[in-house]
Structure 1
């Protein structure tokens, strides 16, 4: 007999699905979702039909904006967002990687002018084989694992 785990449905909010395994905790931290008083359900390393594990995040009474969805693509380029109202999916869309990230990430280059000047950081997306972001100011390119959000 095969057992299935049941996860409680949410009445209103967002479900972020198809997150690559081990990225869910990073997403919670990046979007500061743990700093809310809303109910959050997290599934880590969940099995899929394809055999590749995934993470899942459900957040009550919180709707992921288009900007947040684009930022989410940095961690989970194939994620889908389900917006829930009255326990029903009213909107479902896949995240899309933007052409640039503005004012969201801190430059990993400690010598970059963005650390000492009152400017918004800006990174251009190079999505060839391996996703890299190029700083507008110091023009250095970095793998996504080097980045931290701005406080």
Structure 2
């Protein structure tokens, strides 16, 4: 008789990703994979088996091709006429952490599990971060 393996819940590890000089989409897909736990052999789609991710140098991430001109980030206040549009280049210049978080959030599952995974993402625009005590393992983006 075959038994289904269900991993035990445990403390997540910490991963450090440097976004300097990397396209936002490539970094975001790698981050989403680590947050979901797909890099681990005991990955389970219905459990948060992923690690916490610390991203540094978000202001040095890139939008490639024509995306700085054509990509538009939108948000809506809920009021009539409350739709705000921000071009990609402007968003990357003013709020680089929000641009990266937006890309990652779109790649995670929707619902309670995805929100739980998203809370494990910490994005910083500079080199320094307050999570050195967790000793994050540096991971390369391919």
- TM-score, scaled relative to structure 1: 0.24
Structure (1 or 2) with the greater strand fraction: 1
Relative contact order: is structure 1 or structure 2 higher (C-alpha 8 Å, sep ≥ 6)? 2
